[in-house]
Amino acid sequence: MNVQRRKIGDREVYPVGLGCMNICHAYGPPLPEDEARALLVKAFDLGYDFFDTATLYGFGRSEELIGEALGAHRQDLFLASKCVLGFRDGKRILDGRPEVIKAACEASLKRLKTDVIDLYYLHRPDPNVPIEDSVGALADLVSEGKIRFAGLSEMGAEQLRRGAAVHPITAMQSEYSLWVRNPEIAVMQACEELGTALVAFSPVGRGFLADPPADPATFHETDMRLSIFPRFKAENYAGNLPLLDAAKAMAEEVGCSVAELAIAWTLAKGPNVLPIPGTTNLKHLEENFRAAEVTLTSDQVARLDAHFAPERAVGPRYNAMGQASVTTEMYDFERADG
């Protein structure tokens, strides 16, 4: 099947990219490094060309693995990384000062083994630094040829517009899936107005929209889904499981897996939407890639929209600590539960 590529900046990429967080941390122990490199090479061989990482992932190790595994193919890749959320002396930090952003970029360039990063995001807003100052640093990095495009992550429409007034924002990265619809409140409209791509992370609902769905009872004790994401708490998770019945029925109707359906739904939400599912599983890597071949009718999309209406989710997206670090708009029911 001939898959229509999607534009990000001045590049056209395969519609489904690869999020490179959980090869190093987040959902339990990291992959053994030889397996992580093999997964990255397999992704490239399949046809993935948009790889999304961050300074924070594995405290820089995700970037290094990409540089090691795919450095020889640099000209064929669209590389994205992130700053502001970083690390110092082995501890997580949040620092959006221009000089810190520029130093972080230099370090990322070395780890990625490249002279330029295609897309460089502010990973989170720094409440102590005006967004205009942080985006100004990205503008300087573009002028210096260190990065090609500027991006924001987990921010609301107001900050997107404020940032875009300083320098064009090529992409906004937000969590977006059938289970997490928050960008529909305001961010998607702002992206459309500004010509900004929406890079949808966790389009498979952090594993919830898989078949079988991720089961909290099997999570490793270090899996951050147990501590940061209330929808995976036992009582909330049980309340969310019935949502999957319609997804399974629709997947059977379409002739695909639930994960493919979930990714295809994000793709159906607009030509500027680019999902970046992450995985440590080679079978899932192939499955996610195939999702770009799944076409949903407008009726199927509308039925999924209705069944996964935001208020039907049980529990807020983040706990209080997680929510405090983002400015993405919230639904009223999340405020009540938070």
Per DSSP, the residues of 122-159 read E-S--TTS-HHHHHHHHHHHHHTTSEEEEEEES--HHH
Backbone angles phi, psi at 12, to 5 degrees: -110, 130
Pairing of strands 6-8, 11-13: antiparallel
- Distance between CA atoms of residues 332 and 258, nearest Å: 28
Q: Minimal CA–CA distance to 127: which of 336, 327, 335?
A: 327
**What is the torsion angle, in degrees rounded to the nearest 10, for the CA atoms of residue 29, residue 33, residue 34 and residue 39?**
70
14 is a catalytic site residue: no
The Cβ of residue 147 has, within 10 Å, a number of other Cβ atoms equal to 27
What are residue 91's DSSP bridge partners?
A: 88
Of 57, 120, 176, 318, which is the active-site residue? 57
- Distance between CA atoms of residues 78 and 337, nearest Å: 39
Amino acid (1-letter code) at residue 151 = G
Q: How far is CA 124 from CA 11, 141, 172, 297, in A?
A: 25, 18, 11, 35
Q: Are 240 and 316 in contact (CB under 8 A)?
A: no
Per DSSP, the residues of 190-257 read HHHHHT-EEEEE-TTGGGTTSSSPP-GGG--TT-THHHH-GGGSHHHHHHHTTHHHHHHHHHHHHTS-
- Distance between CA atoms of residues 55 and 112, nearest Å: 10
- Distance between CA atoms of residues 236 and 220, nearest Å: 19
Looking at the annotation, which residues are catalytic?
Answer: 57
